[in-house]
């Protein structure tokens, strides 16, 4: 087999329909453009979403919400979930091993929700001010 002999399989590439080539072709006269109107004429074009001057749908509908591109990689850990981690040191790897944060998480942040009952050390995991105070009150520490 040679690259210059490669051909598509027979019938896989239908011939292009030649429009506007007379009445006998079955595609003559209006050449499948219908009668009159902007799209029947050469150069007739309108922008995507244009509705003839009416306020377009994408501008009529209220805009709500926000999807953070960073949010899909930063996991939020509640304070009481730290208790599920084995050992005294809490890192991103130990949180993933315990199933607290998903595998695709690139960072984690501990938030104040619940309480911690033992002294733990956070390494490479961020914490809110309230969570940091609660961890230090239990005898632990937060390292950047």
pLDDT digits (tens, 9 = 90+) for 98-108: 999 999 999 99
Distance, in Å, from the CA atom of 120 to the CA atom of 100, rounded to the nearest integer, reads 16
**Other beta carbons less than 10 A from residue 122's beta carbon:** 23
Q: Percentage of residues in the chain with pLDDT exceeding 90? A: 83
Containing 31, the helix (H) or strand (E) segment is: none
pLDDT digits (tens, 9 = 90+) for 52-103: 899 999 999 999 999 988 888 999 999 999 988 988 999 999 999 999 999 9
Q: What is the pLDDT of residue 68?
A: 87
Size (the chain), residues: 144
Question: Binning pLDDT at 50, 70 and 90, where does residue 46 land?
Answer: confident
Q: What is the pLDDT of residue 45?
A: 87
Pairing relation of β-strands 107-111 and 74-78? parallel
For the chain, list the domains and their CATH numbers. 74-143 (3.100.10.10)
Q: What is the pLDDT of residue 71?
A: 85
């Amino acid at each position: 087999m040679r690259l210059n002999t490669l051909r598509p399989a027979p019938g896989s590439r239908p011939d292009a329909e030649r429009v506007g080539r007379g009445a006998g072709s079955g595609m003559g006269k209006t050449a499948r453009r219908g009668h009159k109107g902007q799209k029947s004429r050469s150069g007739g074009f309108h922008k995507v979403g244009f509705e003839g001057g009416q306020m377009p749908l994408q501008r009529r509908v209220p805009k709500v919400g926000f999807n953070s591109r960073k949010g899909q990689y930063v996991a939020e850990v509640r304070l009481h979930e730290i208790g599920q981690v084995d050992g005294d040191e809490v890192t991103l790897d130990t949180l993933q091993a315990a199933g607290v944060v998903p595998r695709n998480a690139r960072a984690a942040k501990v938030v104040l929700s619940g309480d911690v009952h033992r002294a733990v050390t956070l390494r490479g995991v961020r914490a809110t001010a309230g969570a940091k105070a609660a961890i230090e009150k239990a005898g632990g520490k937060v390292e950047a």
